[in-house]
Structure formats: C-alpha cells, structure tokens
Amino acid sequence: MSIEQELTQAYKQSATRIKRPEELDARIEQLYRKQSFQKQTKLHAVKKSWTLRIIVAGLLLTSMGFSTPYIFHFKDEIIDYMLHNGQLGTYDAMLAQQMRESLKEVKQTLPTEGKAIFYSQKLKSLLPKTSSIPIAIITNPYVWKVEKEWEMQLTEANPDLQMPDSLTETLTFIGGQKDQPFGGSLSAADMESLHELEKRVKKEKPEETWLPLPRPEIESVDHPVYTTTYENESTDIIHITMEVFTDKSNVQLRSNLKAQEQIVIGQQSAIYALAQPFLYSDTDQYQSVFWMDSLEDETILYTIGSSDLDMTKAELTSIAEQFIH
C-alpha cells in the first residue's frame, strides 16, 4: 500500500470516530493531505475542519491507522487526545547510537531553522511499528540563549505562555526554541518532499538517505510550539514544552511506553509516561508529565520531560505543580 493510500486510510479511520457535536468535540492539527487531497485541503482550510496530526520524531510517535487500543484519552472543547502504546520488535542499543550519530551529522549540515526528512531501513526496529517507510524528521532550530530575550519571545507570542518565577529558584535557564526538544513534525507542504523521498527509496533502495525540506514562503502559526530548557542542581536537563491549539484537533499519538500512569496535580488531570527504549536520547529513555490547560479560546498542551537517568517522577511533577494553579 502506498503512503498516499495509508494516509487516506488513516484519515478516514480517524474521521469515522469523530463527530461534530454541539459542544465542539475534537480538532486535529497539521493536516496531511497528498495529491488526491489537494482539492479537499482548500475546502478544509476555509471551514477549519478536521485534520490529522502525524509526528515522526519525539517522545510520542503517531502510527498510520491507530490499530492499537489507546491507553489514555482526555479532551476538551478543542483537543481530543489519545495516547497509544506502540511496541517495538527487537531494539539494539548499539544500532540506536549509530542512528543518533547519523541524525546529528545531518543536523550539522542544515542551516539554522532548517528541516530535513531522514530515511534508514534500520529505523524499522528502533521506532514504534508503522507500515510506512521508516523516517525521522531532523530540525535545527534557532536557540535563544539569553533568558530575558526568550521571555520576550514568549510574551510577544502569547501572554498565556509565561514561565513561573519560582522555576529559577531551583533551575538554571539553558535555552529556548520554537520547536520540540527532539525532531519535529511534517506540514501539509512537506508531503511532496515525502513522496519524492519514498520514490527514491523504492527506486534506489539505499540503506539510508535524507532530503532537505524547503522552507515555506509564509511561516505557519496555526500550531506554535515553544520549548524552554533548564538544568537542575544535579545538571539534569529538563525540557518544558508548550503547544498552543486554537483550532479543533484530534491528536492520536503512539510511543513505546515502559510505564504510564494517570495522575492528578491539584485539580488537574495529567499523565506520567516513561518511554523506554527511546531513540532520540543517549540514555535510551524519556520521562514526561503532560496535561492540557483549557482556556477560553485556546488549549495549551504542556509537557515537562527529561531523558536523564537520575530524573524522578516526583521532580517532574513538582515542576508541573508550579504551572498549575
């Protein structure tokens, strides 16, 4: 089955589970449509209809088809969010390290704010199973190193993205970027490049290859992402990511989870997850606590995460408590 057919099937399967109720049931971010969807894309852009989020790098990886049952499901008037457990086959730690080196080499060739799509047959055993070609998205975001300058970026972008003053009592600011901590996601404009890469793989059958993605003429602000990185007293790195949703999204995500738990922070429902193994970190793991903050006309998805082995669920939860009033 071609990737266009897989995307069509995934979109249809998602659409059959989504109804448009009076209370505004769910929205989906970053719509993937290929050539057969180009006509629909224009129509959906006007109506702000359903979209399908497909993430191919980071803690949570979307599969095509969502055949596994979800572990957690929570929603508000903007986001309908499902977390699936995507099991791996055999995972080779040495191979994972080799892949990380390959990803770093590609990143070093990218310009600032550049993005590329990377293919390797070896990724099949390192990522949650999907019937599409094994790929990862590599980004080289601009990083703000001065805390005050980054705070100005957040304030100008959205006044709801203020970082608690109490964070600096125990954490040291490292940097801020308008991207996920690991990799990134594809936009609808990237689908032509994805199709080009798929054709190259089928024709040349390379062990691995990559393709730079063109920068859009107009930057999309439909789904902005902001990650602030801190270091604690033990030099553990903590990423605080805030994703802003203003249109309805159905977010279905898959990760290889060793542990997961639904928790309550104050009156806020949240999820703790331990992804292990985890390709994008030298420690082969990533812990996170994440929750949704439902505001009047937007929802902010918060993720507090770290790949350090010494990091504990209690410390991640303690940081999250500073955001939840």
Instruction: Look at the block and give the residue holding tokens 């990091």.
Output: 311
pLDDT digits (tens, 9 = 90+) for 113-156: 999 999 998 888 887 766 678 899 999 999 999 999 999 999 99
Q: In what order do the strands lie in the sheet with 143-144?
A: 143-144, 172-177, 225-231, 237-245, 299-306, 286-294, 268-275, 257-265
Residue 50 scores a pLDDT above 80: no
Query: Residue 272: phi, psi to the nearest 5?
Result: -105, 135
Type of residue found at 211: L
The 3-state DSSP class for residue 131 equals coil
Cβ neighbors of 29 (< 8 A, separation 6 or more) are: 51, 53, 222, 223, 245, 247, 249, 251
pLDDT digits (tens, 9 = 90+) for 4-45: 555 455 544 544 444 433 333 333 333 333 333 333 333 333
CA 129 – CA 209 distance, rounded (Å): 20
* H/E stretch holding 15: helix 3-17
Q: What is the pLDDT of residue 118?
A: 94
Q: What is the pLDDT of residue 111?
A: 95
Q: What's the whole-number mean pLDDT along residues 215-236?
A: 82
* H/E stretch holding 105: helix 93-109
pLDDT digits (tens, 9 = 90+) for 72-108: 788 888 888 887 776 666 788 999 999 999 999 999 9
CA 11 – CA 67 distance, rounded (Å): 13
Residue 49 scores a pLDDT above 70: no
Type of residue found at 253: L
- DSSP secondary structure string for all residues of 19-37: ---TT---B--S----GGG
Please write down the HEC assignment for all residues of 257-272: EEEEEEEEECCEEEEE
